[in-house]
Homo-oligomer: A and B are copies of this chain.
Amino acid sequence: MADNSADRTAAALGEPTLEEQIAAYQREFQDLDPQVEKVVSALSRLNRRMNVAYSRQTADLGISNAEWEVLKALVLSGAPYRMGPGELAKRLGLTPAAMTHRIDRMVAEGLVTRERDESNRVRVIVELTPVGREKWLAAMRLASVFEEDLLQDLSSEERHTLGELLTRLLIRVEHAQPDAGGRLTDLD
């Protein structure tokens, strides 16, 4: 079971506050926009914390975070919960090689099955087992409690605003490609 970085990052002793960190960056790099940096730093820190929380939860269920990602992708594909290793790899941002090994493990643990596609014998079909689906559901229940709790201090309106602003950033990143200088340029 990988991804046990849980308790190392959890406490985060002596880590500077966001404000302190931004002030330090400004000392070292004058033309930094503190407003931009605040958003970016908060995003990155938040994500680290969230991953730690998820790792802890999945570990409690006896699966790794990596395995949870696979389960999520399969469930998202809808019944009958089948996908090829290649597509899974693309979705999760892994090499096909890594996917092969990950599926090996998950087959051994009974979370998925792997069989050749008889109508096209190059392809392989990875299918969620009932056990795998149960694990996904259990992880989902834990995750949703955590997520609800994370947003607890925000009003419904604030949640909406946050969702919209983040979606706009996401759209900008997903519908654009960086040019040579790293700038994002629209595709269409």
Contact = CB atoms under 8 A, between A and B. Distances in A.
B144 A43 contact: no
How many subunits of this chain does the assembly comprise? 2
A184 interface: yes
Interface of A: 5, 8-10, 12-16, 18, 21, 24-25, 27-29, 31-33, 35-40, 42-50, 52-53, 56-57, 75-76, 78, 87, 89-91, 93-95, 137, 140, 142, 144-154, 156, 158-163, 165-170, 172-174, 177-178, 181-184
Interface of A is mostly: helix
A25 to B, nearest CB: 7
A90 B5 CA distance: 11
A37 to B, nearest CB: 7
A146 B182 contact: yes
A153 B182 contact: no
Given A43-B50, A94-B8, A150 B165 contact: no
Q: Taking each of A45, A87, A166, which has the highest tally of chain B beta carbons within 10 Å of its own beta carbon?
A: A166
A151 B167 contact: no
Contact of A39 (B14, B144, B151, B184): B151
A151 B163 CA distance: 15
Given A8-B95, A35-B159, A36-B159, A43 B140 contact: no
B42 A167 contact: yes
A148 B15 CA distance: 25
